[in-house]
Homo-oligomer: A and B are copies of this chain.
Amino acid sequence: MTQQSVTMADVAKAAGVSRTTVSFVLNGRMEANIPEATRERINQTARMLGYRPNAAARTLASKRSAWFGLVTEIATSPFATDVIKGAQRSAWKDGNFLLIAPSDDDPGMEMLAVEKLLEQQVGGLIIATTWHREIIVPENAKSVPCVLVNCFDAEGEFPSIVPDEVAGGYAAAEILARAGHTNIGHITVAQGIPAQIGRQTGMKQALRDHGLSQEESKIVAGDGTADSGYHGTQELLAQPDPPTAIFCGNDRIAMGAYDAIKELGLRVGEDISIVGFDDQEILAPHMRPKLTTIALPFEEMGMAGVSLLNQMVEGSPIENRQITIGCPPRIRSSVAMHGQR
């Protein structure tokens, strides 16, 4: 109500030209060579009248919308924020919008979300998960360009963007090896997920490359919780030849590890070195000592997702369908030099 809404026709009348001309000018169509004087006049009157384009009309007429859809499990994790942030920023730069729809990790819900987004005429779709895993992409998602972020489909049919877990695990172990540690423990996240497999694989490779061996007993299975970090650390430190450093599968595990270490009267970053994974913004930099960890590049993944989508929408050929994004180390204070170098 009270929608006075100035239209192009109003601007055209006020400027004494046709709708078409106004459209050309406001969209910067230079090939319709409208002289500078007219352009200026039209822009002036548009501004004076407070003209605001109607996106719905534009979408309808041009059959191209300014929206991408993002389907994600906002319900569960704060991680989603960063993906949204990155995607949002990247889309915004090109004048695009993000329509966010919840999937809640329920296939039915997810299909509905996609359906609703398609009704909104989204030009492309991003499906993002909060933890790196394989998913089944809803059938209807195929009616429009679609990119997977932090997940992948079994057939590799969709382009996907995932963190480089292996390189991340490698970096984590290398930090400890470079600091002179030779007896390194590891507490894993939940068994069988890409994060666990990748990080552990990377760690083993790094240790080999640095000429270090690691007994099986130095790898304890956790489940990603702080509790599992606490108990895992107790288990490691109770061994006859306890490790001097622990690579924790994620930051929450590291949090539990801190507690266990302190309870034993030892000092994190002096007696025992710790490296985490994830770089949780409200955790890692606030721990005492501040946690050295490997960051999950959620924001970059979101940005990459949108730019990949842009390419697909424009019909550019996609060279790389499976993109991995590096996990940068965040060096803080939980790792100490050990022994002679």
Which residues does A use to contact B, with CB under 8 Å? 1, 3, 52-57, 59-60, 63, 65-67, 74-75, 78, 80-81, 84-85, 88-89, 92, 95, 97-102, 115-116, 118-121, 225-226, 230, 252, 255-256, 259, 262, 280-283, 286-288, 315
Contact = CB atoms under 8 A, between A and B. Distances in A.
Nearest to A109: B92
A116 B52 CA distance: 9
Given A60-B56, A115-B52, A286-B226, A74 B78 contact: no
Nearest to A313: B1
Contact of A282 (B59, B74, B78, B101): B78
User: Within the oligomer, what is the number of copies of this chain?
Assistant: 2
Contacts of A98: 99-100
A78 B82 CA distance: 8
A80 B116 CA distance: 24
A89 B102 contact: yes
Top 6 closest pairs, chain A to chain B, by CB: A56-B59, A226-B286, A78-B78, A259-B288, A56-B60, A55-B120
Contacts of A230: 288
A52 B88 contact: no
Contacts of A282: 78, 252, 280, 282-283
A85 B92 contact: no
A80 B83 CA distance: 13
A116 B54 CA distance: 10
Contacts of A119: 52-55
Contacts of A118: 52
A286 B252 contact: yes
A109 to B, nearest CB: 10
A72 to B, nearest CB: 10
A100 B102 contact: no
A205 to B, nearest CB: 30
Given A54-B121, A262-B262, A282-B252, A85 B81 contact: no
A97 B120 contact: yes
Contacts of A92: 101-102
Given A80-B81, A256-B286, 13 more contacts: A52-B119, A55-B120, A56-B59, A56-B65, A60-B60, A75-B85, A78-B281, A97-B99, A97-B116, A97-B120, A230-B288, A252-B282, A262-B262
B60 A57 contact: yes
